[in-house]
Structure 1
């Protein structure tokens, strides 16, 4: 597990990468509030799910998690395919991040 850095040191938000289990986790004050799950082959990463706890939605956690995970996954090499509706909605709202994802899915 690696800590990808604290998004906001004052608020206690941090994103962790659980590489051996293939997921990213966003914590707020130590509480797990969001996950992004992926599958990986030698030359391709497939994002399969992203979710925010129902009682924590609408606070920007999903945006923070996806915006942190996409560049980190891209830096590991290979292409990224997206099969998650939440990530698709994020990409529509944040087109600059589309460069990280293979358009052919």
Structure 2
């Protein structure tokens, strides 16, 4: 799987792109300078194939690298962070 995760500020989402195109996204909003991750969606044809985890990692890695303030309300990402405590430091609020 050749995957690329990139921020699409115009759509307010991080997108995971595979060779075939858009495979999923993490939607966000900006509140008082904080990125709030609100929803994760993966195309049904990619469910169970690690695309959601790759998307979560790519999103959280980029936010950590940028030093953004982050709050997570998305249930999928909350569970992902519980299972991968190395990402707890990315979340600065909530």
- Scaled to the shorter chain, the TM-score interval is 0.7 to 0.9
Contact 1:34 1:65 in 2 (8 A): yes
Task: Pick one of 40, 51, 56 that aligns with 2:46.
Answer: 56
Q: Report the more deviating stretch, 12-21 or 44-53.
A: 12-21
Q: How far did residue 33 of structure 1 move?
A: 1.2
The question of 1:20 aligning with 2:33 is answered: no
Structure 2 spans left out of the alignment, 5+ residues:
none
Moved runs in structure 1, 4+ residues, more than 4 A? Answer: none
Equivalences, count = 94
Cα RMSD after superposing both structures? 1.7
The question of 1:73 aligning with 2:63 is answered: yes
CA distance in 1, matches of 2:33, 2:65: 12
The question of 1:38 aligning with 2:22 is answered: no
Scaled by the length of structure 2, what TM-score is found?
Answer: 0.86
Q: How far did residue 79 of structure 1 move?
A: 1.7
Q: Rg: which structure is higher?
A: 1
Structure 1 spans left out of the alignment, 5+ residues:
1-10
Task: Pick one of 65, 75, 79 that aligns with 1:85.
Answer: 75
CA distance in 1, matches of 2:65, 2:33: 12
Q: How far did residue 42 of structure 1 move?
A: 4.6
